[in-house]
Chain A
Amino acid sequence: DIQMTQSPSSLSASAGDRVTITCRASQSISSYLNWYQQKSGRAPKLLIYAASSLQSGVPSRFTGSGSGTEFTLTISSLQPEDFATYYCQQSYSTPFTFGGGTKVEIK
């Protein structure tokens, strides 16, 4: 199985800050990498697919980059509604696997 490792596991930031989350795969997954946002008690929401494609309706302050084994999710200017937990997920091969999550908290 492909292991997905996210860092950091949590971070504190203020509204307006630039935030970067990293996701590493245990083997190359090309660009088969997706990012989700989960708010407490809710189902996840797809933000970025294929490493860098913005899902319809998602604000442009979210950007994804990377390929191979290293990927990043960047929020250019953190908004109050962005405080949540973020997960990466590989769709390269089954079993599909997720990173452990990054909780973005208010500083």
Chain B
Amino acid sequence: QVQLVQSGAEVKKPGSSVKVSCKASGDTFSRYIISWVRQAPGQGFEWMGRIIPIFGTTNYAQNFQGRVTITADESTSTAYMELSSLRSDDTAIYYCAREGETAAAGTFVYWGQGTLVTGSS
């Protein structure tokens, strides 16, 4: 079955960058769009952006434009999300999620387990 396994928790100083990985298994990696979504403590969800691995094309939310970079390595079936210029309000659980096929694009069918990123001096 499809599994998305993310890298472990990170503690980062304000102003630094963090890079979270998401390794996929159980299906053809490059066929499906991978999105990144975050959830601040006790809060709802915020979509950050997505990548189509087979083309390498990306689409970012305006709120994160210029600070987030999403990449994918087809050879290892791994997607990455890098967030720069970290602030304390970037403290959140970051999830990768695989979207459905064409008609269900934008539907988050499979989720990683989440990675807690804490911004703290």
- Chain A residues within CB distance 8 Å of chain B: 1, 32, 34, 36, 43-46, 49-50, 55, 87, 89-92, 94-101
Contacts and interface: CB of A to CB of B under 8 A. Distances in A.
Shortest 5 CB-CB distances between A and B: which pairs?
A91-B106, A43-B111, A95-B61, A98-B45, A96-B47
B45 A89 contact: yes
A80 B36 CA distance: 31
Contacts, number: 56
Given A95-B61, A95-B62, A44 B108 contact: yes
Q: Secondary structure of the A side of the interface?
A: loop
Contacts of B95: 43-44
Contacts of A1: 62
Contacts of B114: 43
A98 B104 contact: no
